Amino acid sequence: MKVFISSLIRGMEAERAAVREAITTLGHEAIMAESFYARDASPQVACLKGVRQSDLFLMILGDRYGATQPSGLSATHEEFEEAHSSKPVLGFRHEPSNPEPAQQRFIEAVGGWTGQHWNEFNTPEQLGRQVTRAIHEWQLANASGPLDVNALDARALTLLPETHQGSSSSGAQLSLAIATGPNQPLLRARQIEDSALADELLKLALFGSTAIFSKAAGMKAGIEGSDLVLRQDGRRGEEGLVRLSPNGDLLVQVPMDRPSERGMMMVVLEEDVRDRLSHALAFAAAVLKHIDPTEKVTHLALAARLSGSAWGWRTRNEHAASPNSGTMSIGYGEDQHEQPVQLTPANMRRPKVVREASEIVEDLLTLLRRRWKP
């Protein structure tokens, strides 16, 4: 296994030597910037190539941010940007510390992007021991077998409900399915049945930035087959649903609001779809963080469907300008507007769901719009 070591070089020589020794002692190859200086390409370009060729990205941060590159970022920051969406990241931070303002922003950003739990060290010797333990634990957590991305993408589609389950004459429903990989058991039967898990999911579903359901309606939690299922019935019969499987696969189904009280047209509003997608994705990320804090799940595949009969698609401004007229999708049928959508590729490394959530939402929104408003 190739492990890339990312940090400042000057002033962290002892730490880098300790990390290299830990990596080689475990039988792995340490990839370091010092190896690239004799190459034809610039050292930083060569380093970024080294990041792409590595299997694991190991980052050590101290107080100094480092000199900025033409991009405006430090070399370490550039290397992290290259790595975070495609490589597992292990982060180590020197404590006690008094980081420069730019370094403090970088530290906070890394934590926000990846959900990074920092390993804090005081001496190079302590850092070496922490690196040995962290790599060993990461290998154990990820020893579930190879990842089949094609099977992962296909499984996301199978998680979506049949269209007759998602359609309603009184409304439309958005379904977001998240398949996890490598496919492995994350929750035992007793954990699925534990009321504490249901309580945590109910809290995430009803409150804060991950809220997907209305606090005004009641919710029911129960076991269906081997899955934990939360249900909420809307006032017009639409059903909100969360289905969590023992392997971490997740289905989120939420009803769409009806703007028809402001006119005769029954339409889906684009801004509402964006909002539902954003909250559903944030909810899914929070659920995974709760049930899999050591990140055995490394990849996710997404699939979405917006189902409902005789509904058109509009922006708020379009609907406000003409609330009582427009083109409906009557007869458009399941063959087109209720077909599921997936990104290309549908699978991604797990941190990307947090780091690039807004971009993922916009891409899914675009694909759904094409189904409903060709």
φ, ψ at 179 (rounded to 5°): -95, 140
The highest-confidence range among 49-53, 100-104, 292-296, 350-354, by mean pLDDT, is 100-104
Q: Are residues 103 and 119 in the same domain?
A: yes
Smallest CA-to-CA distance from 148 within 350, 301, 364 is with 301
Counted domains in the chain: 2
Parallel, antiparallel or unpaired: strands 29-31 and 2-6: parallel
Is 252 or 172 the better-scoring residue by pLDDT? 252
Does 117 have pLDDT greater than 80?
no
**Domain end position, chosen among 94, 123, 141:** 141
User: pLDDT tens digits for 182-229?
Assistant: 888 899 999 999 999 999 999 999 999 999 998 888 889 999 999 999
User: pLDDT tens digits for 26-44?
Assistant: 999 999 987 765 454 567 7
Task: Tell me the average pLDDT across 172-183.
Answer: 93
**Domain end position, chosen among 141, 159, 190:** 141
Q: Which domain holds residue 6?
A: 2-141
**Domain end position, chosen among 113, 141, 169:** 141
Task: Tell me the average pLDDT across 286-312.
Answer: 87
Q: Are residues 6 and 46 in the same domain?
A: yes
Q: Are residues 121 and 261 in the same domain?
A: no
**118 torsion bin: left (phi>0), alpha (psi -120 to 50), beta (else):** beta
Q: Are residues 285 and 308 in the same domain?
A: yes
Q: Note the Cα 335 to chain centre separation in Å.
A: 29
Task: Retrieve residue 155's tokens.
Answer: 């499984």
Q: CATH no. for residue 104? A: 3.40.50.10140
N-term to C-term CA, the chain? 47
DSSP-derived 3-state class of residue 129: helix
The mean pLDDT value of the chain amounts to: 86
